């Protein structure tokens, strides 16, 4: 019997903020599994450049501009997607920002912006996509990009950790409310990955770079492609009885106290 547990043929997948980094890698993985890919971003120039990259790499993508924090823009964008591509079956709430500022120095506007994009945005997208899934009685998959900071704090990332901790609990709550509609809501919790977002931490000689290498049992930064299996799993029938879970893809870092520097 053909094993179609991971087959996404006929599905429409929306990945927010997927012009590069983790979002692009996960979008390509879902496309490789048969899904039609819809890529969102807030920046038209970056989205146009990303489309060219996807196409050059052999992927057809549909691109839509909207700010995930702006509910009217999101509603309009989802309506267009439904008309031009098809209703969204799989949503990856990937768009996000981080501001690394000591709490005592962080202004409230910056704190609020991180919460707005990293937590309120996924709420808006999830609510509007779920409404369509429920209206169609289609069921569906929602995947929220959580973080190690959904579990741990570290200096300078109070807003981000608050948002990602909240996103973990939003994931569990929506999983509870929407199970009756056959909508599975899960999270992916990447460890430390080499993307534009962490580039400042990986600059030559930055102490954090050595710290992460030593603190991660796999002794390396994650590569965006390391997330592809988790994304396909949580987007496919293989996870139909999995909901409210955060799947950590972290090289073992959350499992380990770490080792003494001279070990
Ligand atoms: P990234 O390089 O910062 O990319 C984030 C994307 O989100 C960008 O394309 C950005 O667009 C977009 N975006 C920002 N605000 C938006 C808005 N209001 N509406 C729509 N799009 C918006 O991030 P990444 O490293 O690929 O990570 C992707 C996700 O995984 C994020 O949620 C991040 O918090 C999370 N994560 C990352 C790591 C890591 O180590 N890299 C680990 C754990 C979790 P512009 O470029 O046009 O601004
Ligand atoms: C930081 C990093 C992390 C990663 C990721 C870890 O400044 O600590 O940016 O927050 O982005 O979220 O899982």
- pLDDT tens figures, 40-72: 999 999 999 999 999 999 999 999 999 999 999
Closest residue by CA, ligand 2 atom 12: 147
Strand runs labelled E in the chain? 12-15, 36-41, 61-65, 90-93, 140-145, 183-190, 246-249
- What residues are labeled active site? 160
Average pLDDT value for the chain:
96
Give residue 184's region: left, alpha or beta (phi > 0; psi -120 to 50). beta
Closest residue by CA, ligand 1 atom 18: 67
The verdict on residue 61 lying in a domain is: yes
Q: What pLDDT, on a 0 to 100 scale, did the predictor assign at position 223? A: 98
Q: Is residue 16 lining ligand 1, measured as CB closer than 6 Å?
A: yes
SS3 221: coil
The verdict on residue 206 lying in a domain is: no
The verdict on residue 208 lying in a domain is: no
Q: How many domains does the chain have?
A: 1
The verdict on residue 202 lying in a domain is: no
- pLDDT tens figures, 186-195: 999 999 999 9
What's the CATH number where 189 sits? 3.40.50.720
Cβ–Cβ < 8 Å for 41, 18:
yes
The yes-or-no verdict on residue 1 having pLDDT over 70 is no
pTM of the predicted model as reported, rounded to 2 decimal places: 0.97
The verdict on residue 4 lying in a domain is: no
Ligand 2 centre and the CA of 149: distance in Å?
7
The yes-or-no verdict on residue 263 having pLDDT over 70 is no
The verdict on residue 145 lying in a domain is: yes
Domain with 24 in it: 12-193+223-255
Q: What pLDDT, on a 0 to 100 scale, did the predictor assign at position 30? A: 98
Angle 158-178/121-136 helices, nearest 10 degrees? 10
The verdict on residue 128 lying in a domain is: yes
Q: What pLDDT, on a 0 to 100 scale, did the predictor assign at position 3? A: 75
The verdict on residue 73 lying in a domain is: yes
């Amino acid at each position: 019997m053909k094993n179609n547990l991971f087959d996404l043929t006929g599905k429409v997948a929306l990945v927010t903020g997927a012009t590069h980094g983790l979002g692009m890698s996960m979008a390509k993985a879902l496309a490789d599994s048969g899904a039609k890919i819809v890529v969102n971003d807030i920046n038209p120039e970056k989205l146009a450049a990303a489309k060219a990259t996807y196409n050059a790499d052999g992927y057809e993508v549909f691109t839509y501009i909207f700010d995930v924090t702006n509910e009217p823009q999101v509603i309009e964008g989802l309506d267009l997607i439904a008309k031009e591509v098809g209703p969204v079956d799989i949503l990856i709430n990937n768009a996000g920002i981080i501001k690394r500022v000591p709490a005592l120095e962080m202004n409230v506007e910056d704190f609020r912006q991180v919460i707005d994009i990293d937590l309120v945005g996924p709420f808006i997208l999830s609510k509007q996509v779920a409404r369509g899934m429920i209206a169609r009685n289609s069921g569906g998959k929602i995947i929220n990009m959580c973080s190690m900071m959904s579990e741990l704090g570290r200096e300078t990332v109070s807003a981000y950790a608050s948002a990602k901790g909240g996103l973990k609990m939003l994931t569990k709550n929506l999983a509870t409310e929407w199970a009756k509609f056959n909508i599975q809501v899960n999270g992916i919790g990447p460890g430390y990955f080499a993307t534009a977002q962490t580039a400042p931490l990986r600059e030559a000689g930055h102490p954090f770079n050595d710290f992460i290498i030593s603190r991660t049992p796999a002794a390396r930064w994650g590569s965006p492609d390391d997330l592809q299996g988790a994304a396909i799993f949580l987007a496919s029938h293989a996870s139909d009885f999995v909901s409210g879970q955060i799947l950590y893809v972290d090289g073992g870092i959350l499992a380990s106290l770490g080792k003494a520097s001279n070990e």
